[in-house]
Chain A
Amino acid sequence: MTKIKVEVLDRRQFMLAASATTAALMAGISSANATAEMAAEYIKKLTGGASMMEGKVKIDLPEIAENGNTVPVKVSVDSPMTADNYVKTLHLVSEGNPGPEMASFHFTPASGRANAAARMRLAKTQNVVGIAEMSDGKIYTAKTLVKVTIGGCGG
């Protein structure tokens, strides 16, 4: 009896170890994606490496974009937009397009609201990152995943 029990445990341990290895391998593959790294590098250039906080930024994208040639995107940043507290710039950064830079929107207190809408090309399923630079120097960020059926970057 005891002998069999030990065997069963061994097999379980082996399976656990094997699945852990597979997970580690898969994680390794996805983090090696060049465009996500390019995006991170580009963000570092935009912010000068300053620390970022999650929140305040909202990026509205369709859950599934059938045509990547023209995907509507709406952005908004939670801010009173007064002379001494407003959003200066909102950058849109792509983690899956040939280049990470998409667009930058520059607001002023006269904008009234830090809202903007545009249409973007998306090459494939990816995260779109928003980076908001506030007038007090703080930086907020958020990202939205969008699934793309047909990519829209030529080829």
Chain B
Amino acid sequence: MAKARVKAPKKAKAGDIVTIKTLITHKMESGRRKDKKTGKLVPRHIIDKFTAKFNGETFFSADWHGSVSANPYMSFSYKAEKSGEFEFIWHDEKGEETVKKSKMTVA
């Protein structure tokens, strides 16, 4: 569906609080914008849910509404305890999902 980019550390020390940055290409049509040629409203189509998991457990999630900008950026933190894999899921209103994974080794 959409192209996603994630910046998450590959290595961390136990107890470190790491910052994760994510970006996805998506128009985030709010349903309030008019098509310049036809003058009709462009139908609403947004990503409404973002979920961040580590080893299968959700540690951060976000509900997005029409006020979120196009190509949504999201940054948040995670407290590293043990090695494993991040999983990021963007869910859009049409039910499509984009998933991105990233491994982290915790020493």
Give the interface of A toward B (CB within 8 A): 69-71, 81, 92, 94, 97-99, 101-113, 115-122, 152-155
Say yes or no for B96: interface residue by CB 8 A criterion: no
Identity of the chain B residue whose Cβ is nearest the Cβ of A104 in the assembled complex = B63
State in angstroms the CA–CA spacing of A69 and B18 once bound together: 29
Give the interface of B toward A (CB within 8 A): 17-19, 30, 32-34, 54, 57-70, 72-79, 81
B32 touches A98 (CB 8 A): yes
What residues of chain A lie closer than 8 Å to B30, measured between beta carbons? 98, 121, 153-154
Pick the contact of B74: A70, A106, A108, A117 (CB < 8 A). A117
B60 touches A105 (CB 8 A): yes
A119 touches B68 (CB 8 A): yes
Residue of B18, B60, B81 with most partner-chain A CB within 10 A: B60
A154 touches B34 (CB 8 A): yes
Identity of the chain A residue whose Cβ is nearest the Cβ of B32 in the assembled complex = A154
Residue of A71, A97, A122 with most partner-chain B CB within 10 A: A97
User: What's the least CB distance linking A152 to chain B, in Å?
Assistant: 8
Pick the contact of B73: A94, A102, A115, A118 (CB < 8 A). A118
A selection of 25 A-B contacts at a CB cut-off of 8 Å is A97-B66, A98-B66, A99-B65, A102-B67, A104-B63, A105-B62, A105-B76, A106-B60, A106-B61, A107-B60, A108-B58, A108-B59, A109-B79, A111-B59, A111-B78, A112-B79, A115-B77, A117-B74, A117-B76, A118-B72, A118-B74, A121-B66, A121-B69, A153-B30, A155-B33
